[in-house]
């Protein structure tokens, strides 16, 4: 089983604070890294899919970076808003060796609560 | 509208009975996945399929079975052999890829064994 660690497990911040979470994954045989946002009573939705070392992606106030050599990714939220409250999931996708072609394995998630 | 549909939303089953959860997609995706979520845990992969008539075990396949007879459909059967079946089940789909394709999720089915 692929070991995917997300930290912290939960986070409470005030509206306007900036915050970040970490996703750690095995760096060997890396293929892709996904970030998803899962709001209560909704389905998870993709934020980013990254494949290149040093990749940095941005969507509004949310951005993510990727380090495939050391096996981690950071997700940043600038100026958190109450609507950012959700569980944020990361998932390494597949592996370069081919034995897990197409497999998407999720971490346990970081639960973010933004207080008004 | 294209999407992925899971039914039912809530399901109750008596201990010892098999139950089948439905997952249908009209996104023309080749790949489909089943995940389970337990309180305080992330999504754990049960089975996934890259193509019709083929599927692979995920990390927690014991006590579950699947079929992929049609591209649009990937039903999951929770058998009586599954020791702790009460959980939230999510189905997802994506285009065929090595693992870099965005996954689209259904709304989930909450299964309770009574």
Compute the radius of gyration of chain B from its Cα atoms: 13
> Which A-chain residues 31-70 have CB contacts (< 8 A) with chain B?
31-32, 34, 36, 42-46, 49, 51
Residues of chain B positioned with their CB less than 8 A from the CB of A106: 35, 42-45
**Given this model, what pLDDT does residue A1 score?**
66
Name which of A43, A44, A103 is nearest B45 (Cβ-Cβ). A103
CA distance A104 to chain B (A): 6
Cβ distance A52 to A67 under 8 Å?
Answer: no
**pLDDT (average), residues A77-85:** 97
Q: B111, B105, B97: which is closest to B74 by C-alpha?
A: B105
Query: How far apart are alpha carbons B25 and A14 in whole angstroms?
Result: 39
Sheet bearing B64-66, strands edge to edge: B4-7, B19-25, B76-78, B64-66
What is the DSSP code string of A57-70?
EEETTEEEEEETTT
pLDDT, tens digit, 9 for 90 and up, residues B23-37: 999 999 999 999 999
Contacts of B17 (CB under 8 A, 6+ apart): B80
Looking at the DSSP bridge assignments, the partners of residue B112 are B12
Sheet bearing A32-38, strands edge to edge: A10-14, A110-115, A86-93, A32-38, A45-50
Verify whether the Cβ–Cβ distance A102 to B50 is below 8 Å: yes
Name which of B35, B40, B100 is nearest A93 (Cβ-Cβ). B100
Verify whether the Cβ–Cβ distance B42 to A106 is below 8 Å: yes
pLDDT higher than threshold 80 for residue B89: yes
**Given this model, what pLDDT does residue B42 score?**
85
Residue in chain A lying closest to B5 (CA): A43
pLDDT, tens digit, 9 for 90 and up, residues A37-77: 999 989 999 999 999 999 999 999 999 999 999 999 999 99
**Given this model, what pLDDT does residue A34 score?**
95
Query: How far apart are alpha carbons A92 and A116 in whole angstroms?
Result: 33
Name which of A31, A98, A104 is nearest B103 (Cβ-Cβ). A104
**Given this model, what pLDDT does residue A98 score?**
57
Label residue A27 exposed, middle or buried (CB < 10 Å: 0-12, 13-18, 19+): middle
Verify whether the Cβ–Cβ distance A93 to B99 is below 8 Å: yes
Residue bearing the bigger pLDDT, A28 or B62: B62
């Amino acid at each position: 089983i692929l070991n995917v660690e997300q930290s912290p497990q939960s986070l409470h911040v005030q509206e306007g604070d900036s915050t970040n979470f970490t996703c750690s994954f095995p760096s060997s045989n890396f293929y892709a890294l996904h970030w998803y946002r899962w709001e209560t009573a909704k389905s998870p939705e993709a934020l980013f899919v990254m494949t290149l070392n040093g990749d940095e992606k941005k969507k509004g106030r949310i951005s993510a970076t990727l380090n495939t050599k050391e096996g981690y990714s950071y997700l940043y939220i600038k100026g958190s808003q109450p609507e950012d409250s959700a569980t944020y999931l990361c998932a390494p996708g597949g592996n370069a060796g081919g034995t897990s072609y197409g497999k998407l394995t999720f971490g346990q998630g970081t639960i973010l609560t933004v207080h008004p | 509208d294209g999407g992925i549909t899971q039914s039912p939303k809530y399901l109750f089953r008596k201990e010892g009975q098999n139950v089948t959860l439905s997952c249908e997609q009209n996104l023309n995706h080749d790949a489909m996945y089943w995940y389970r979520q337990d309180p305080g845990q992330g999504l754990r992969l049960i089975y996934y399929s890259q193509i019709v008539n083929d599927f692979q075990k995920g990390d927690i396949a014991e006590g579950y079975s699947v079929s992929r007879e049609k591209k649009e459909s990937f039903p999951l059967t929770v058998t009586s052999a599954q020791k702790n079946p009460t959980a939230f089940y999510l189905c997802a789909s994506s285009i065929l890829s090595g693992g870099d394709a965005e996954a689209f999720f259904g709304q989930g089915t909450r299964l309770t064994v009574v």
